[in-house]
Amino acid sequence: MRLGAGAAAAGDAAKVTWLEPAKLRAAPNPVAPSDTVRFASIGTGVRGCEDLKTALSCPGTEMVATCDLYDGRLIAAQEVAQKQLPTTKDYRAILDRKDVDAVIVATPDHWHAKIVEDACAAGKDVYCEKPMSHTVEDGFAMVAAAQRHNRIVQVGSQRRSGIVYAKAREILASGALGQVTAIEAWIDRNDASGAWQYPIPPDANEKTIDWNQFLGSARKRPFDASRFFRWRCFQEYGEGLPGDLYVHLLTGVLTITGINAPPARALSTGGLFRWKDGRDVPDLIWTLYEYPDFRVAMRCNLNNESPADVTRVFGTKATLEVRGETLTVTPQDTRPQPESYSIFGWPEKLRNEYLKEWRSQHREPGPGQYSVVEEAQTFQAPPGYEDQIDHMNNFLESVRTRRPSVEDAVFGNHTAIACHMANYSYFNKTVATWDEADKAIKG
Ligand SMILES: NC(=O)c1ccc[n+]([C@@H]2O[C@H](COP(=O)([O-])OP(=O)(O)OC[C@H]3O[C@@H](n4cnc5c(N)ncnc54)[C@H](O)[C@@H]3O)[C@@H](O)[C@H]2O)c1
């Protein structure tokens, strides 16, 4: 932003710049056969099938096996892979296979830690879906497992690799926004699917689903298809809106600001107002986060649709907004102006003297010396751009080169902790404080 001292009008039509698709960190195409990453999927529900499709669209991959607890999903995975694969309902059989280099873990969140730890111990690299952890303790155990076994563990928050967020980061780091003290971000929905009321397949029963394995370390209960397919609604398996959606917003915020740490404090409010279907998580949550240099207001509402996910960064020189795959930077007009409002209460004589003095110190620019407030600039990802492809390619490249992942377990742990803090504050009706020494949330 080149803001000048003069006073000419600014145009308000935004310039649009198409962002170049990222220069993939991945090895060039075609990948040498010896660099082929042989992977298996653990959990092939909605996201697991998307992930395996994404992985297969990346150069130098081969899918060798698949694991899920429901027969229908073992079929679905093979349909997406377009080939017959060895299948199992026991993920340990996948980890025993010598032909598996890496696993994609897309199970419900309460299973992430155990499977990731076992996979690391078995010498596999891991792409683990977001949010990385179900509890704070899980997260640190996962970080330790990745380090102990020297494994690539990448968390699947694809904004971390997105070109729009990379551009936003570059703009903030350039100083163009000035001092950033406030950020707001939200994802809002208004439909049954958005509120996780997914349909239950008609063949769902204890013969087609390994219910006990689904429960894992969670409380034992009789078979309940609703819990199996709508697990996000229950704290035993998910983390409600923070674990499902805040984590994407937080990944964006931390990527743009270059922060890799938990927030100092979090304060949430919200409630379960509408989707009273037996769930034990809210359908509206609002959280204020304290990071050292800025504050964040975050919201997810399942009771009103917002056309796009939005992250807005407020700087002293400009406002940056990411709306879907579009980034707009709107400069603030910070050119000096004589005070007007606060001198209304002055006697006319003093007011006129003040204005005279101000004008003598702020000379009118001469001809040709006017400068303008730059117009808003918009940056747009190309049509069809998918950040998840960049994210998966980044993972595959880390597997091949052993270069650290763009979203390693440490970063994934930090965004997950922020989700847990939002829930801690909501459920305990208190401010959640991060205790770095104890690696724990305190009330
Ligand atoms: N990155 C993203 O944009 C994104 C989008 C959606 C979901 N997700 C994440 O992906 C994960 C899966 O979500 P989903 O929507 O696909 O859920 P889902 O319910 O559709 O699928 C989960 C699958 O995991 C299987 N499973 C459960 N426990 C298992 C175990 N112990 N071993 C093997 N399989 C097991 C289930 O049988 C089920 O088919 C979650 O962590 C979710 O937060 C990420």
Q: Cα(433) to centroid of ligand 1, in Å? A: 30
Nearest ligand 1 atom, CA 216: 31
User: If pLDDT is split at 50, 70 and 90, which confidence band does 29 have?
Assistant: low
The answer on pLDDT for 346 being more than 80 is yes
Q: What is the pLDDT of residues 314-335, one digit of tens each?
A: 999 999 999 999 999 999 999 8
User: What proportion of the chain, given as a percentage, has pLDDT over 90?
Assistant: 88
Q: What is the SS3 assignment for the chain?
A: CCCCCCCECCCCCCEEEECCCCCCCCCCCCCCHHHCEEEEEECCCHHHHHHHHHHHHCCCEEEEEEECCEHHHHHHHHHHHCCCCCEECCHHHHHCCCCCCEEEECCCHHHHHHHHHHHHHCCCEEEEECCCCCCHHHHHHHHHHHHHCCCCEEEECHHHHCHHHHHHHHHHHCCCCCCEEEEEEEEECCCCCCCCCCCCCCCCCCCCECHHHHHCCCCCCCCCHHHHHCHHHCCCCCCHHHHHHHHHHHHHHHHHHCCCCCCCEEEEEEECCCCCCCCCCCCEEEEEEEECCEEEEEEEECCCCCCCCEEEEEECCEEEEEECCEEEEEECCCCCCCCCHHHCCCCHHHHHHHHHHHHHHCCCCCCCCCCECCCCEEEECCCCCCHHHHHHHHHHHHHHHCCCCCCCHHHHHHHHHHHHHHHHHHHHCCCEEEECCCCEEEC
pTM exceeds 0.75 for this model? yes
The string of pLDDT tens digits covering residues 101-139 is 999 999 999 999 999 999 999 999 999 999 999 999 999
pLDDT at position 9 over 50 = no
Report residues whose beta carbon is within 6 angstroms of any ligand 1 atom: 42-43, 45-48, 67-70, 73, 91, 106-109, 111, 129-130, 156, 158, 213-214, 216, 231, 244
Q: How far apart are the CA of 48 and the centre of ligand 1, in A?
A: 6
Output the pLDDT for position 418. 99
**What's the CA-to-centroid distance between 44 and ligand 1, angstroms?**
7
Band (pLDDT 50/70/90 cuts) for residue 366 is confident
Q: What band does 371 get if pLDDT is binned at 50, 70 and 90? A: low
CA of 198 to the centre of ligand 1 (A): 13
Which atom of ligand 1 lies nearest, measured to the CA of 109?
A: 41
pLDDT tens-digit readout, 240-252:
999 999 999 999 9
Report the nearest-CA residue for atom 18 of ligand 1.
45
